[in-house]
Amino acid sequence: MDGAARNVSNVLVMSAHHMHPDELDISPALVGRLLRAQYPKWADLPINEVPSTGTVNAIYRLGERLYVRLPRVRSWDQDLAREWHWLPLLAPLLGLQVPEPVALGRPARQYPASWAVYRWIDGQSYADEIVDDEHQAAKDLAQFVVELRGLETAVGAPRAGRKPLRELDTVTRAAIAAARDVIDGDAATAAWERALAAPAWNGPPVWIHSDLLRPNLLVQSGRLRAVIDFGSVGVGDPAADVIAAWSVFGPAGRKTYRDALAVDDGAWNRARGFALHQAALIIPYYAETNPGFVAMAKRTVEQVLAD
């Protein structure tokens, strides 16, 4: 859930502020040391932290054309490995711009995880005030999802998406209870119970991004231009990418998005449950450390309840 963008809802969450109990210490000085040791050709470029609501990676711009992503938790470098393998194969087949890996860094004594350098993508994280036409944005994102779903399921493609809703029941109810000072807990619980009635997915797996949140969609000149953060990409339930109906769009864009994807009632209700589950877990966990991300999650819950 990170965004390589220069402006994320006007809320700055600095990477030096830990959000996780086992978070690594990351700083511009560390990035400089890693570059000098492993990629000295870039060691003299300016290093500037990128304000972000991202929770998985710390992001630093490297000069004008590159940026560095460093997992906040050691085990999350597996997401970089997934991107490194699959992005070059997927990118040529997708209409929207996606991250371009440039270099993969090795774990080191001062930072015991892999890290990566990518080509910089101009744009701002999705926000209502910078999007010229929500209907067009919904069509553009739906087209990206259609393209992704249409790709051949390759041998070795990783499983992606969330567990079936019923397996998420206990943790979701606990999160809703913990977020009652922020959301309407009774209404959220009722919405969750309605989602549980959705039929379980039993179709063929398709390629899914799995994390279509506003920070992972970049807008430039009023149009959606890029989708970033493919650390959860893989094959699974197509309903996983329908969560954008609530996590990204309002009522008008939501209808356009559903129509463009021809989502049936079962997948729609399942996706609503995924959106509510994800947002409910975000609110209590990041209440103190990432208020910008919590605000987005609260908005998602409100969209679910208003739908």
Check residue 58 and give its pLDDT. 95
Does a structural domain hold residue 2?
A: no
- Structurally, the chain folds into a number of domains equal to 2
CATH number of the domain that residue 100 is part of: 3.30.200.20
At residue 26, what is the residue type?
I
Does a structural domain hold residue 32?
A: yes
Does a structural domain hold residue 166?
A: yes
115 and 144 in a single domain? The answer is: no
66 and 196 in a single domain? The answer is: no
Residue-range definition of the domain harbouring residue 140: 125-306
207 and 257 in a single domain? The answer is: yes
Does a structural domain hold residue 91?
A: yes
Three-state SS sequence of the chain: CCCCCCCCCCCCCCCCCCCCCCCCCCCHHHHHHHHHHHCHHHCCCCEEECCCCCCCEEEEEECCCEEEEEECCHHHHHHHHHHHHHHHHHHHHCCCECCCEEEEECCECCECCCEEEEECCCCEECCHHHCCCHHHHHHHHHHHHHHHHCCCCCCCCCECCCCCHHHHHHHHHHHHHHCCCCCCHHHHHHHHHHHHCCCCCCCCCEEECCCCCHHHEEEECCEEEEECCCCCCEEECHHHHHCHHHHCCCHHHHHHHHHHHCCCHHHHHHHHHHHHHHHHHHHHHCCCCCHHHHHHHHHHHHHHHHC
Does a structural domain hold residue 119?
A: yes
119 and 184 in a single domain? The answer is: no
67 and 101 in a single domain? The answer is: yes
CATH number of the domain that residue 276 is part of: 3.90.1200.10
Does a structural domain hold residue 61?
A: yes
Separation CA 54–CA 76 (nearest Å): 13
Other beta carbons within 10 Å of 246:
26
226 and 257 in a single domain? The answer is: yes
Per-residue pLDDT of the chain (307 residues; tens, 9 = 90+): 443 332 223 333 333 468 888 999 999 999 999 999 999 999 999 999 998 888 899 999 999 999 999 999 999 989 999 999 999 999 999 999 999 999 999 999 999 999 999 999 999 999 999 999 999 999 999 999 999 999 988 778 999 999 999 999 999 999 999 999 999 999 999 999 999 999 999 999 999 999 999 999 999 999 999 999 999 999 999 999 999 999 999 999 999 999 999 999 999 999 999 999 999 999 999 999 999 999 999 999 999 999 8
- Give the residue from 61, 93, 124 where a domain finishes: 124
- Give the residue from 89, 124, 159 where a domain finishes: 124
Q: Which two tokens stand for residue 116?
A: 């990566």
Check residue 3 and give its pLDDT. 35
On whether the CB atoms of residues 208 and 149 are closer than 8 A, the answer is yes
Separation CA 131–CA 35 (nearest Å): 36
- Give the residue from 84, 101, 124 where a domain finishes: 124
Separation CA 209–CA 244 (nearest Å): 11
148 and 262 in a single domain? The answer is: yes
* Angstrom distances, CA of residue 135 to CA of 256, 259, 292, 306: 6, 11, 25, 19
Check residue 176 and give its pLDDT. 98
134 and 272 in a single domain? The answer is: yes
Check residue 17 and give its pLDDT. 65
**∠ CA(122), CA(128), CA(129), 5° rounding?**
75
152 and 70 in a single domain? The answer is: no
Separation CA 134–CA 139 (nearest Å): 9
Does a structural domain hold residue 18?
A: no
111 and 131 in a single domain? The answer is: no
Check residue 14 and give its pLDDT. 36
Does a structural domain hold residue 20?
A: no
Check residue 6 and give its pLDDT. 28
237 and 172 in a single domain? The answer is: yes
